[in-house]
Structure 1
């Protein structure tokens, strides 16, 4: 049983909590701290740009390495560690409240997602103190993203830490995606169909659908890049199309990411426009359809970031059409908000001012983006400050709305009202500062981005931008001061401080109680009601024992230390891996075909290998403890689940996870096919492995799928010996597979065929190695299940975990069915 939740005044509370409202507050506090850190980096390089040759704040000379580090870290922290997480903070806190749920579907996974987010940020920020952080721009373009092009070998560790921090962040995102999808699709209150969901809930649902596929593609790219930087594979260090490969993978993620960032802000805008205009959003269903269209189209426009590459004109023209087309649904959303204002009674509160300002800024950002959607104009504007200005007018317009969301929901989260005067003052300073810093960039568009040398004629524009940056920073600080001031001196907030708010979070006290609801929320009658589900006796009166039974059945745990422990273990593992490049250089130098091409990093140190081992041990121990912990999270007995009524939460979550894994392997296999086609299919130097090990392994894995099915049959029959036997057989077959693979690798090593010999070798070893890693994970999971069967007779009364493991294992087998012909027969 999970431990009881300590009071909020205790540090332990925040380390062990799994309650969605606590996790939302942790996300909010951390994301605002990241905003301040990234903002300070921006102020530093904006001050450096006050003079055409740089003021010297970030170093003198022509290389501009420190300037590049600050610009890159600012971009990475803002795009990944602030924009999305502040939206996730609201989603964590308010999605269960808006849909009538008691918590997210997987509370421990939710807490783990937060801790992975926090420690990934620590990895990135700490990289400044590991010889220098990554300095190649937040888009991580190849080949500048590999150690060969790092200014100094000492900076490799800091650069690795940045890349691995991004890796850890993507794991956090994947956990959150599984959680929110399962919760929204399966935990809605009775009577709340999909069409009836609040607009903010709709925005988050579509955001996580985009996250599911977009971040899986980025994970593939970052996984390959990590292998390049640590193991010295050759994905992005060659001139054989690696630059194009990175651009395709990154922007397949990168353009949906714009909407992943902006959709939560849109949801906040819709909610505040409805509340402070006193009427329902005009054209609500059409707005939802428009958002769905954008979600789909977002994956069809990525190549407009690549108009300057060698893609042929016909494809560029097609992408130009889809790019212009994706602006049309946004036009509908903008007009819906404008008509809502026209037909409503507008009250210019602080939240509404920020969201109205966001709408104005977004319109300007959208219009200037249409310029970049035209191939001819993009040729002129690409890589200039026009792009910088457009990007910030879109993305930071979303931030403006999200700050409005903080003011909107602050009374609900804290139980305190803030000063409207200070709130409106902070908006005025913020809005003026925003336009001062970004609008002159349109006028200074001939300035190359990420370069601190610019023509004398651009001097005035850059000075205005620098002054504006400090004004904007003052606006953000004033907003935070206003909120902090309310905690001490603000009056108590009622349950609903806004007259025309419509969503369910305003139906409970401010702040909401731990369990959210006084009864079961229901919309069956057409309005929100709370149903008493306490069972009654024949006479119609519930007994104390009945109530106790329901309380025992429904009580959900809210505390577990193991999500925090797993994040610590993963952090130590990644921190250790970040420093292994010098070790790897010395280990492979005797076998490298061209030893002079790699940099010797001096003596092998023991610190980073030791940290790596400590991370593996910590991760193994904490995962085991999480697995054996008795943590009760009952599924709601009554809920809207269309169209997923036929499966439980865990099974649905497993399918969501496997969908992301499909994209991961699809991107890795696609990378192989892309590089081979780019080189010319017949000209590509393939690695001709002997066919028999691959064929043997195919039979081994297919047989293991049969043994998994038989294990499930034995679990359903309650046959402990049969379950142990078939699950054990699956493990033995998996180990046989790995043994054959180890023989195959060793034979190749004996012939001098290593993963660092060239991109062809790298792709073979990496792709089959990634699959092998999945096999190893499967063996570890199955071994843990064997332990549980032996010690506590697990899975005999509830065979579902065996079924879920089977789904994963069948997926691993199916992937091999694709890899075998690609690498052994083609």
Structure 2
């Protein structure tokens, strides 16, 4: 499927892979989540109208509303709306026709959408997440997550799995954007000369690559606690501190991940509406790079109240204050640009200026929290809530300005200027009325609706501000609705001093973006007509395909698709990303309810160890576990069968969809002539694989780091190697190292176009992979026969989960290897272009290297 249906067709939005369509989907979906998250905020602000609560919500409902509001706004609104802007604008600003991997871009969106749907389904599964958006341990373990004592926690588990699916979406998008920006910039457009919004997004996705990988690792460990009853965060052996380290290694870079795209929008708006180039542009870029690097060096300032020693706290206090200095430079650059320019107070500029004002207030109040002594006093109070929102909603303010700024380009219509300014007034007044009183009533504990009667006036003012603030967004939607129906048509460039490439083409842009090949070779944007250049030529091979390279048979189809100029028509539609996203959604829904199935089949072993090895209660109470083993309630319920069926059915549908995704002939637009520094000699797909592996290094690093942290905490000598037979681990080491050799042999066979040799090499790699899994299965079943399950103690959880994550990677590699073997056998794939074999080899070698690290950790030390 390559033909793209018209915009008014629902089918268009189910199958599109075009970056502008995906951008619109992200923007519109994020705004829906903004409304849902805002509605929750209005509900719990109404609860806070009177001291002691109005009785509108119960304690559990209040906690769910506050927690889910935080999760939605931080994850399902702020990052995705920025991703929507980036999807639409980054290819236009750098001169590309699409992202490097259009189908993966679509898959990223569908993971995002279905993860949000799953989050709201969790409300109807006994109650959604109620432990705060920071998900602190030990409140994140099953025994503390029920909405009421003894009730199931399927809803809480489902919310955590939804967040995991969202992080997978982020990972796909991050790899895609990094590859695109580094490999698909127009001729003459060096990194230093990229538009500032694209610069801000490049640094954002670099931070995302590592920060969200740490969060993914933390969530994987937590989900195993919920579903499989492991004990990462259920013990008193440093589990709370472990979660804090993992979460805030993600959590503090997330502040800049959220704010950087907004900062990029502010830079673009200030340049356009001040009528001059941004003052200190190069220093601003350097300052952003410094912040991106430093963001990973300050996470422990969120942990000043933990048992970390004072010397370390002092060090992190210094890094926290230090990271504010590059922001000082950026703030003064924006102010000086206004002073030197001729300001026009349009709606986009008003929101950008408002964002600057709010950010200054948020930054100043944040410096208070950077001091250890003051943080002891302010931590967990409304001071933190107010500071956090002044920073984060400063970003929202700039993002709203971006909606107005690029609305003419996206819609082809102008908005109503007076209504836009009225929106800004209501927005700015409502926000400050909502959050500034929180500084005055800062002693109120966060996430608690009981507060002193003397503070009631400030809370009532904040509640009034919340409703004014919420009303302002209705003005936004009313303005855009008016624009679509009555707004005048927008010119190509409605702004006099705009500087970036998207304003050089019609509003809205055509499907393929450009009338020719964009080039900055002369120092300014020009369109070159390369009559003999195929826009979809790949690096050193036949036509490029999204996620692979064309085979001999596909090259025939490629030749047939060429027009008179020799260029391939790029594809813009595929149904398989949506189906993969849906099947993953179904599988994860089923996984959310697997806990009780696990309890049912392991009930005897659970009873034997309840209360003896620090095992926390599972998602059902200990009494119900005992009841299920005494014969009073031994049968699985219909609900259990439904969840089990969804899990198995989702896996089946996913495998079918992935198989068809791999078989589909899809020609992704690439660029034969482009700026690619510093990756000139690395192909596009290969670079994408390297970025993915970099993210996976952080995932394994966090999981292995968790093992080391908890073992050191418990006393290194108190842990004994779980596997009984060292020779089994040594045998598996030899097996995997041998499989790496057979992969290399397969690459040699592909380079020689030796079909039988390639099939034999891939087959040998697969057989060795199965041999590895067979030895691992023999080890595990032997441990189970001895009664040594993963919930019998912390050391057992660490062993089974860490080696199990590696085994999952082996299984994924076997699936890919089996698919490649099928392709070689059926159509002789990879004989004319061996690079997919090389990419598979990179992944397989990585999996082998991880095992070389795990073997001594678990079998020898």
Query: Aligned pair 1:784/2:783, yes or no?
Result: no
Provide the TM-score with structure 2 as the length reference.
0.93
Which residue of 2 is the match for residue 77 of structure 1?
A: 72
DSSP 3-state at the match of 2:718: coil
Q: Aligned match of 1:594 in 582, 592, 609?
A: 609
Which residue of 2 is the match for residue 554 of structure 1?
A: 568
Q: In 2, Cα distance between the equivalents of 1:616 and 1:407?
A: 42
DSSP 3-state at the match of 1:309: coil
DSSP 3-state at the match of 1:554: coil
Q: In 1, Cα distance between the equivalents of 2:844 and 2:481?
A: 50
Q: Aligned match of 2:784 in 738, 746, 749?
A: 749
Q: Aligned match of 1:112 in 101, 107, 112?
A: 107
Q: In 1, Cα distance between the equivalents of 2:709 and 2:481?
A: 52
Which residue of 1 is the match for residue 591 of structure 2?
A: 577
Aligned residues: 813
Query: Aligned pair 1:332/2:332, yes or no?
Result: no
Taking the TM superposition and a 5 Å limit, the aligned residue runs for 1:522-671 are 522-535=519-532, 549=563, 553-592=567-606, 593-595=608-610, 597-598=617-618, 599=621, 600=624, 603-604=635-636, 605-671=640-706
Which residue of 2 is the match for residue 48 of structure 1?
A: 47
User: How much has 1:647 moved relative to structure 2?
Assistant: 1.3
**Stretch of structure 1 that moved more, 140-149 or 66-75:** 140-149
Query: Aligned pair 1:733/2:732, yes or no?
Result: no
Which residue of 2 is the match for residue 23 of structure 1?
A: 22
The answer to whether the 8 Å contact 1:156/1:581 transfers is no
Residue 6 to residue 552, structure 1, CA distance change in 2 (3 Å): farther
Q: In 2, Cα distance between the equivalents of 1:825 and 1:472?
A: 60
Q: Aligned match of 1:284 in 278, 281, 288?
A: 281
User: How much has 1:111 moved relative to structure 2?
Assistant: 0.4
Residue 427 to residue 770, structure 1, CA distance change in 2 (3 Å): same
Q: In 2, Cα distance between the equivalents of 1:618 and 1:550?
A: 40
User: How much has 1:594 moved relative to structure 2?
Assistant: 2.3
Which residue of 2 is the match for residue 463 of structure 1?
A: 460
Q: Aligned match of 1:244 in 216, 241, 246?
A: 241
1:541-573 CA-partner distances (Å, limit 9, x unpaired): xxxx99954655332100000000000000000
The answer to whether the 8 Å contact 1:316/1:375 transfers is yes
Q: Which runs of 5+ in 1 are unaligned?
A: 537-544
**Stretch of structure 1 that moved more, 728-737 or 547-556:** 547-556
User: How much has 1:774 moved relative to structure 2?
Assistant: 0.3
Taking the TM superposition and a 5 Å limit, the aligned residue runs for 1:302-381 are 302-381=299-378
Query: Aligned pair 1:708/2:743, yes or no?
Result: yes
Q: In 2, Cα distance between the equivalents of 1:157 and 1:200?
A: 41
Residue 546 to residue 14, structure 1, CA distance change in 2 (3 Å): closer
DSSP 3-state at the match of 1:718: coil
Q: In 2, Cα distance between the equivalents of 1:211 and 1:552?
A: 38
Query: Aligned pair 1:392/2:407, yes or no?
Result: no
DSSP 3-state at the match of 1:756: coil
Q: Aligned match of 1:185 in 182, 185, 189?
A: 182
1:388-414 CA-partner distances (Å, limit 9, x unpaired): 000000001100000000000000000
Q: In 2, Cα distance between the equivalents of 1:216 and 1:450?
A: 28
User: How much has 1:3 moved relative to structure 2?
Assistant: 2.3
User: How much has 1:251 moved relative to structure 2?
Assistant: 0.2
DSSP 3-state at the match of 1:530: strand
Which residue of 1 is the match for residue 553 of structure 2?
A: none
The answer to whether the 8 Å contact 2:98/2:669 transfers is no
Q: Aligned match of 1:691 in 697, 719, 726?
A: 726
Taking the TM superposition and a 5 Å limit, the aligned residue runs for 1:105-504 are 105-151=100-146, 152=148, 153-504=150-501
Alignment RMSD: 1.3
Moved over 6 A (4+): none
User: How much has 1:687 moved relative to structure 2?
Assistant: 2.2
Which residue of 1 is the match for residue 807 of structure 2?
A: 772
**Stretch of structure 1 that moved more, 546-555 or 441-450:** 546-555
Q: In 1, Cα distance between the equivalents of 2:693 and 2:760?
A: 27
Which residue of 1 is the match for residue 85 of structure 2?
A: 90
The answer to whether the 8 Å contact 2:723/2:779 transfers is no
Provide the TM-score with structure 1 as the length reference.
0.97
Which residue of 2 is the match for residue 540 of structure 1?
A: none
The answer to whether the 8 Å contact 2:184/2:671 transfers is yes
DSSP 3-state at the match of 1:8: coil
Which residue of 1 is the match for residue 614 of structure 2?
A: none
Q: In 1, Cα distance between the equivalents of 2:729 and 2:117?
A: 42
Q: Which runs of 5+ in 2 are unaligned?
A: 534-558, 612-616, 626-632
Which residue of 2 is the match for residue 817 of structure 1?
A: 852
Q: In 1, Cα distance between the equivalents of 2:222 and 2:565?
A: 51
Q: In 2, Cα distance between the equivalents of 1:777 and 1:669?
A: 20
